[in-house]
């Protein structure tokens, strides 16, 4: 897929933003599958993140940007109102373009944006300890709390039907029927796996349609490497990757955390024998999420969380499989069978979740959640003892 550094004049793009100094270094950054991301170093020692929005995926990039401006504006107000210490490290900040807009459009029509880099942070691809899982889930729950008062109609749907699992299922069926790359025969077992679970795909959508699950402002991409941790203290500072913040169900956010943070391996580990759910991490996620978001969840929402883990993992496998059948157009891939390996990995995780679902449901419905004023330094170890 596109290596933007080979095609774009990165320093020239940066200089259309209100950055200090000149670009002395730029390099591709992070593990995102969609946008092109660069780390930019300036002569003044300031560091920035530059991103090109993938317009095959985000068909209305300016709606993405206006959503992000709304979300950040609201979030910053909440932090100010709470008199938050070191607030500039607890919320991403856009660097405006020289014309005052939040983005620039280059001659080829690409939309670019720049963020201030938050110094002294790190991300985690595979969670190692329950403490990390607890803190990451708490950060996502907190993010939802920050945005709870933002009316959902203020945000555009940046990818229509993003977690509409029934439509994702239909898209897979179309891809199988079209079989444009002659790959359907090779993936018969994976197709059978999905067909056997068709009834799962509509469950939460039906509850939502009946008014039993409320729509909220959700993050929708709560992959664990979208949390920035303080590199020294390990404290979660903020969540990033706001392109898909839009109306959704809390089960989607909790579900994607389960998919990415309660597992033994990363999502593209090809050896499926290594894929499993870690119940200690799952319990820590539940405690962390409920500690920050728990008070606001309805009975039905709380009961939807564990199933959300299964559903979003199934959906992700369906999405990888669809992309494989369509010739790897959506996700960045590094080798020919990358999307197929990812699919098999996700389906192995679905099986592991299915084997543990009753226990997972028991955990989310009985975890009491901690008080909102959870003190990171003093209470985290104590609370986690209860999980051992
Ligand atoms: C994409 O690029 P990244 O890693 O933030 C995708 C997510 C998937 C994820 C799978 C807009 O996110 O939905 O869960 O890959 N984002 C979009 O790793 O499709
Ligand atoms: Mg993303």
**pTM of the shown model:** 0.92
- Residues lining ligand 1, Cβ inside 6 A: 32-34, 57, 221, 223, 241, 243-244, 267, 316
Q: Which residue lies with its CA nearest to atom 1 of ligand 1?
A: 33
Q: Which residue lies with its CA nearest to atom 18 of ligand 1?
A: 33
Asked if residues 194 and 122 have their Cβ atoms less than 8 Å apart, the reply is no
Atom of ligand 1 nearest to the CA of 220: 13
Asked if residues 349 and 341 have their Cβ atoms less than 8 Å apart, the reply is no
CA 320 to chain CA centroid, Å, is 15
- Burial environment of residue 140 by CB neighbours within 10 A (0 to 12, 13 to 18, 19 or more): buried
Choice from 221, 263, 308 to test ligand 1 binding pocket (greatest atom count within 8 A of CB):
221
Predicted local distance difference test score (pLDDT) of residue 6 = 53
Ligand 1 center from residue 222 Cα (angstroms): 9
- At 386, give phi and psi (nearest 5°): -65, -20
- Tokens 């317009």 map to which residue? 55
Predicted local distance difference test score (pLDDT) of residue 368 = 57
Give the C-alpha separation, 52 to 282, whole Å.
34
Q: Which residue lies with its CA nearest to atom 3 of ligand 1?
A: 32
Q: How many residues does the chain have?
A: 388
Asked if residues 227 and 239 have their Cβ atoms less than 8 Å apart, the reply is yes
Three-state DSSP state, 325: helix
Ligand 2 center from residue 35 Cα (angstroms): 8
Ligand 2 center from residue 379 Cα (angstroms): 31
Asked if residues 246 and 217 have their Cβ atoms less than 8 Å apart, the reply is yes
Distances (CA, A) of 116 to 9, 51, 170: 20, 12, 40
Ligand 2 center from residue 252 Cα (angstroms): 14
In 3-state terms, the chain is what percent helix, strand and coil (to 5)? 50, 15, 40
Predicted local distance difference test score (pLDDT) of residue 381 = 57
Tell me which H or E stretch contains 28: strand 23-28
Asked if residues 22 and 6 have their Cβ atoms less than 8 Å apart, the reply is no
* Nearest ligand atom owner, CA of 30: 1
Predicted local distance difference test score (pLDDT) of residue 366 = 86
Query: Per-residue confidence of the chain (388 residues) as pLDDT tens digits?
Result: 434 445 899 999 999 999 999 999 999 999 899 999 999 999 999 999 999 999 999 999 999 999 999 999 999 999 999 999 989 999 999 999 999 999 999 999 999 999 999 999 999 999 989 999 999 999 999 999 999 999 989 899 999 999 999 999 999 999 999 999 999 999 999 999 999 999 999 999 999 999 999 999 999 999 999 999 999 999 999 999 999 999 999 999 999 999 999 999 999 999 999 999 999 999 999 999 999 998 889 999 999 999 999 999 999 999 999 999 999 999 999 999 999 999 999 999 999 999 999 999 999 998 654 433 334 444 555 655 555 4
Q: Which residue lies with its CA nearest to atom 14 of ligand 1?
A: 221
- Closest C-alpha among 363, 219, 368, 370 to residue 277: 363
Ligand 1 center from residue 177 Cα (angstroms): 25
- Tokens 């709470």 map to which residue? 82
Distances (CA, A) of 243 to 8, 131, 137, 220, 289: 22, 27, 19, 9, 21
Ligand 1 center from residue 317 Cα (angstroms): 12
- Closest C-alpha among 85, 75, 10 to residue 49: 10
Q: Mind listing the domains of the chain with CATH numbers?
A: 3-119 (3.30.200.20), 130-385 (3.90.1200.10)
Atom of ligand 1 nearest to the CA of 259: 14
- Closest C-alpha among 189, 352, 358 to residue 273: 352
Give the C-alpha separation, 353 to 127, whole Å.
17
Asked if residues 318 and 187 have their Cβ atoms less than 8 Å apart, the reply is no
- Closest C-alpha among 363, 326, 1, 282 to residue 175: 326
Ligand 2 center from residue 192 Cα (angstroms): 28
Q: Which residues contact 173 (CB under 8 A, 6 or more apart)?
A: none
Choice from 33, 52, 124 to test ligand 1 binding pocket (greatest atom count within 8 A of CB):
33
Give the C-alpha separation, 153 to 272, whole Å.
41
Q: Which residue lies with its CA nearest to atom 5 of ligand 1?
A: 32
Atom of ligand 1 nearest to the CA of 33: 2
Predicted local distance difference test score (pLDDT) of residue 369 = 46
Three-state DSSP state, 197: coil
Tell me which H or E stretch contains 146: helix 130-146
* Nearest ligand atom owner, CA of 159: 1
Q: Which residue lies with its CA nearest to atom 9 of ligand 1?
A: 33
């Amino acid at each position: 897929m596109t290596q933007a550094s080979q095609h774009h004049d990165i320093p020239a793009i940066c200089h259309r933003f209100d950055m200090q100094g000149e670009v002395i270094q730029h390099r591709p950054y992070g593990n995102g599958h969609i946008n092109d991301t660069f780390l930019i170093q300036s002569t003044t020692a300031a560091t920035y993140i530059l991103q090109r929005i993938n317009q095959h995926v985000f068909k209305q990039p300016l709606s993405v940007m206006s959503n992000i401006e709304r979300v950040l504006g609201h979030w910053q107000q909440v932090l100010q109102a709470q008199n938050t210490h070191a607030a500039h490290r607890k919320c991403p900040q856009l660097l405006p373009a020289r014309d005052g807009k939040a983005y620039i459009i280059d001659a080829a029509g690409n939309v670019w944006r720049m963020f201030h880099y938050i110094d002294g942070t790190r991300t985690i691809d595979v969670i190692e300890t329950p403490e990390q899982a607890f803190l990451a889930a708490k950060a996502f729950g907190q993010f939802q709390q920050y945005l709870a008062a933002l009316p959902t109609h203020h945000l555009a749907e940046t990818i229509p039907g993003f977690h509409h699992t029934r439509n994702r299922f239909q898209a897979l069926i179309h891809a199988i029927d079209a079989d444009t790359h002659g790959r359907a025969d090779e993936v018969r077992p994976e197709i059978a796996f999905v067909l056997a679970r068709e009834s799962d795909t509509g469950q939460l959508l039906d509850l939502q349609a009946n008014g039993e699950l409320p729509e909220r402002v959700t993050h929708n991409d709560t992959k664990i490497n979208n949390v920035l941790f303080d590199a020294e203290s390990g404290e979660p500072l903020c969540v990033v990757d706001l392109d898909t913040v839009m109306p959704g169900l809390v089960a989607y956010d909790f579900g994607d955390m389960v998919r990415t943070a309660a597992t033994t391996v990363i999502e593209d580990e090809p050896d499926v024998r290594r894929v499993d759910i870690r119940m200690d991490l799952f319990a820590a996620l539940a405690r962390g999420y409920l500690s920050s978001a728990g008070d606001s969840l309805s009975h039905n929402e709380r009961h939807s969380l564990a199933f959300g883990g299964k559903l979003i993992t199934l959906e992700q496998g369906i999405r990888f499989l669809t992309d494989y059948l369509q010739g790897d157009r959506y996700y960045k891939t590094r080798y020919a069978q990358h999307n197929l390996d990812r699919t098999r990995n996700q389906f192995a995780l679905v099986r592991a979740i299915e084997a543990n679902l009753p226990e997972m449901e028991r955990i989310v419905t009985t975890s009491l959640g901690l008080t909102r004023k959870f003190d990171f330094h003093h209470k985290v170890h104590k609370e986690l003892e209860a999980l051992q």
